[in-house]
Amino acid sequence: MKISEAAQKVGAPARMLRYYEQQGLIEAARSTNGYRDYSEDQVEHARHVRALVEAGLSTRMIKIVLDIEAPSAQDAGGACTQPLVEELARELRVVENRIVCLEKSRDAVIDYLRRTGHADLLTPA
């Protein structure tokens, strides 16, 4: 599918997909006329990248996460250097702090909806 359709399915502007590709986060095949041609798997991968971006990870950290998630990473146990491990540990602390903040915000919104008589708007967890 063309980039415009892929962008719509991913929920991101086409220029964002081009940026992800430039950063080495996604790939797209090229048609004979040079246009990007995305498969369903590539669109799903782009959705995953977008979710990581929305979670607050930098594109540099997303690249590391994607490399870790790759099937070939299962065999690359020795490739995990001490600096990489330390960077991942720092990033984990940042993500955990973000989760705590989001949980507090969620709880405050839930409490407000309940106190104002709008608990019926809450979706069951």
CATH code for the domain in which residue 29 is found: 1.10.1660.10
Local confidence band at 72 (pLDDT 50, 70, 90 cut-offs): low
Domain final residue, candidates 42, 58, 76: 76
Local confidence band at 123 (pLDDT 50, 70, 90 cut-offs): confident
Kindly give the interhelix angle for 82-115 and 59-69, rounded to the nearest 10 degrees. Answer: 110
Domain that holds residue 119: 81-125
Asked whether residue 56 falls in the same domain as residue 103, the answer is no
The reported pTM is: 0.71
Indicate left, alpha or beta for 92 from its phi (over 0: left) and psi (-120 to 50: alpha).
alpha
Asked whether residue 109 falls in the same domain as residue 57, the answer is no
Asked whether residue 49 falls in the same domain as residue 93, the answer is no
The number of domains in the chain is: 2
